[in-house]
Amino acid sequence: MPETTKITIDPVTRIEGHLKIEVEITDGRVTNAWSSGTLFRGVETILQGREPEDAWLFTQRLCGVCTYVHGVSSVRCVEDAAGVSIPDNARIIRNLLMGGLYIHDHPVHFYHLHALDWVDIVSALSANPGAAKILADTISPSAPTIDFEEVQTKLRTFVNSGQLGPFAGGYWGHSAYQLTPEENLIYAAHYLYALREQVKAAKMHAIFGAKNPHLQSLRVGGVTCEKQVTSTRINEFKTYLNQLKDFIDHVYLPDVKYLASKYPEWASIGGFNNYLAFGEFQNGNSPWDNYLPGGVILNGNLAEVNDVDLSKISEHVERSFYAGTSARHPASGETIPNYTGYDTKDRYSWLKAPRYNGEPMEVGPLARVLTAYAKGHTDMVKLVDELLTQLDLTMDNMHSTLGRVAARALETKLIADQMDNWLSQLNTGGSFIVSPDIPTTGAGAALNEAPRGALGHWINIDDRKIANYQMVVPSTWNLGPRCSAGKKGPVEEALMGTMVVNPEEPVEILRIIHSYDPCLACAVHIIDTNQDKTYTVQVIK
């Protein structure tokens, strides 16, 4: 008889928010999986009865990681309801702020949230710093000079103190780690280096957004940073951008490519085949005219990319802790909490289960990269083809865990390079905001692409107040539970068949989960203090 083991990872760490993953392993492979958001998000309820113009201030505080995306989605949503067309300068500033978020968020994910699934920090202590420098120069000759001996000393201080800090709780020494001590030391050094680089992206946000996180220059009708759009401030923004482009070109991209070359088997593990992208970085006032195009890909067929039809989106709650069993379109959605106890045979998550025409869809960098590639986006095609050639891979290999990791890096370079063009389009003497006329009654929708994926906001206005507000966020698409048809969510499906060497140290499962960059703070928010379930908690870092 096959031997089946059940693993519960609760909470999953190195993510934002609260996520529980439960899997069954039979003969060393995952044969079933359940993804559970363990807290309730109540922001939609909080917004009811408030002024539509104020919604962005609340929604932006869903999370301090992807901060800006809910703010801009919210103002676009109200602008849609009010029929507002914003000035070109406002559109460009919003593109620059969104771009700043991408080039902050993607490297942070790679180095600080995901890298430790591939990099054995403790192994770096036995590295030869001189050999590490020679290898680093080979990987990227133009990378900044780093004192690897100094980095190793810092790591040793952590270990000798008995407090590994952010590196505590890892599966150090696990056979799934395949890097040499010198390679591990290089990635540990770049982990620390990237911490400093991310500050520059935050400063870019502060120039046109006043602060980071939770930017302040958004308004329904445009942006309020007109006085900051001077040649001096533009040049300051450009200086930080150029420094980050150097980091992307000479550290981040080479590191991703080298890591992929050391773990080639992961180019065929953890894949999914349905993709949804709304598109982002608006070229004009149409939500469908974007630098990164939107589209729908089914069954991995890049030869056929369909246009997005918003009427085909529905949210299922039959396996979620919400009242009712009916699937609803977000425009008429309900958020009525109804905790019934965790039961994988019934309801087991505070996340709803979004579906597109009844199908689960992966959203995020890989969905955007594949959509752009399939639609012939010249710059994206060049980047993807170069990557595949260098790593001796095919397009089929993009449907994988490594595909998601690589897509983030390629997209980061693409957007960082494009930001120069947006900066050059700013008109310091032009308009930045118009006065909106909020309707007495109305409805609006707004789409954008958060770094983690497709994001939608829907609003209903009655008596100039918010009557209903619904958000479908990226991690709900990716990490949602089964729907009424019993179809697994993307992460649940991506885990199926994965080989797990040691069920007590399931690093392979974490590699797939983290490749989606979960952000449960956007998906769930308020704990149900009346629940009486007791969970076995295993903290994995």
Residues labelled as active-site residues: 16, 63, 66, 70, 452, 475, 519, 522
| Cα 345-351-353 angle, rounded to 5 deg | 75
For residue 311, give every residue at least 6 positions away whose Cβ sits within 8 Å of its Cβ, in sequence order, or none.
329
Beta-bridge partner residues of 538: 10
CA distance 519 to 173: 28
Closest CA to 511 of 147, 24, 21: 21
CA distance 405 to 512: 10
44 within 8 A of 524, measured Cβ to Cβ: no
Task: Give per-residue burial for 43-73: e unless 16+ CB within 10 Å, then b.
Answer: bbeebeeeebbebbebbbebbebbbbbbbbb
CA distance 104 to 445: 27
Q: Which residue has the tokens 């959203």?
A: 363
- Number of Cβ within 10 Å of residue 377's Cβ equals 19
CA distance 171 to 121: 10
For residue 201, give every residue at least 6 positions away whose Cβ sits within 8 Å of its Cβ, in sequence order, or none.
100, 101, 103, 104, 240, 244
Closest CA to 308 of 404, 409, 410, 445: 445
- 3 state SS of 144: coil
DSSP symbol at 540:
B
CA distance 138 to 136: 5
Closest CA to 524 of 478, 463, 467, 473: 473
DSSP symbol at 396:
G
Spell out the SS3 assignment of 269-325: CCCCCCEEECCEEECCCCCCCEEECCEEECCCCCCCCECCCHHHEEEECCCECECCC
Beta-bridge partner residues of 353: 316
Residue type at 255 in one-letter notation: D
Pairing of strands 453-462, 465-472: antiparallel
Closest CA to 209 of 80, 85, 107, 75: 75
H or E, element range at 26: strand 19-26
